[in-house]
Amino acid sequence: MGIGIEIENLDKRMKATPALQGITASLAPATLHGLIGPDGAGKTTLMRLLAGLLRPDRGQIRFTEEGRLLPFDEAKLRIAYMPQQQSLYPDLSIGEHLDFFRDLYRIPAETYRSRREELLKLARLETFVDRSTSKLSGGMYKKLGLICTLLQSPAVLLLDEPTNGVDPISRRELWDLLYRQVEGGMLVLLSTAYMDEAERCGRVHILDEGRLLASGEPRDILAREGATSFEAFFLRREGTAT
């Protein structure tokens, strides 16, 4: 069934600034969730809280599996987090990066061989295994970072703006790769400031200025708001605010 996440009344301040205010949301297993909002909406803060890199000032984050509460010490072993600014090693090749993460995650040799082959093929990087990271395009760099993160077969994948600055073809390939993981039962939470990407998600959670504006299936949210797109959704709210 996979891991789910329940977020309740979450508050977080960064120094004097409220980064998140009263966030309540449910992240179902085996679903591609989109965390949608402009820069400064609080997306990265929420990602870091879910990954255990920050502690909330108020509220709770609960991990569940098959109806039981999962202690965070147990859940964190099955969570993978890919930050917006990755730090891959420029002198290592694609293959050497995968070998490095194999050792880091202590993946058995047989499991590693099959997982490595599968991920390289899905990311369309199998013919570039000897190419150094410093010679990769932006899209290839992001795909390498993603498959390194996926190598451990996490149950929860947190991706902070993975498509930012990526060319259209690589963006499509990244999405295809993520859909395959969700089909296998993974919970994926992807943050993005690209409004057009919201409609590619199974469920979306819309943030602005640290507040949750809406959660649900993309079509349902647009229908409720009488908007034709998520760009129109935000424009309408900006117009209402002024």
Q: What is the pLDDT of residues 134-159, one digit of tens each?
A: 999 989 999 999 999 999 999 999 99
Tokens of 202: 């199974």
Q: What is the pLDDT of residues 87-111, one digit of tens each?
A: 899 999 999 999 999 999 999 999 9
Q: How many CB atoms lie within 10 A of CB 120?
A: 20
Which CATH class name applies to 3-241? alpha beta
Tens of pLDDT along 26-77? 999 999 999 999 999 999 999 999 999 999 999 999 999 988 999 999 999 9
Residue 235 to residue 239: CA distance in whole angstroms:
6
Q: Would you kindly state where each structural domain of the chain is located, as residue ranges? A: 3-241
pTM of the model: 0.93
Looking up tokens 């150094």 gives: 132
Q: 138-150 and 109-122 helices cross at what angle (nearest 10)?
A: 150
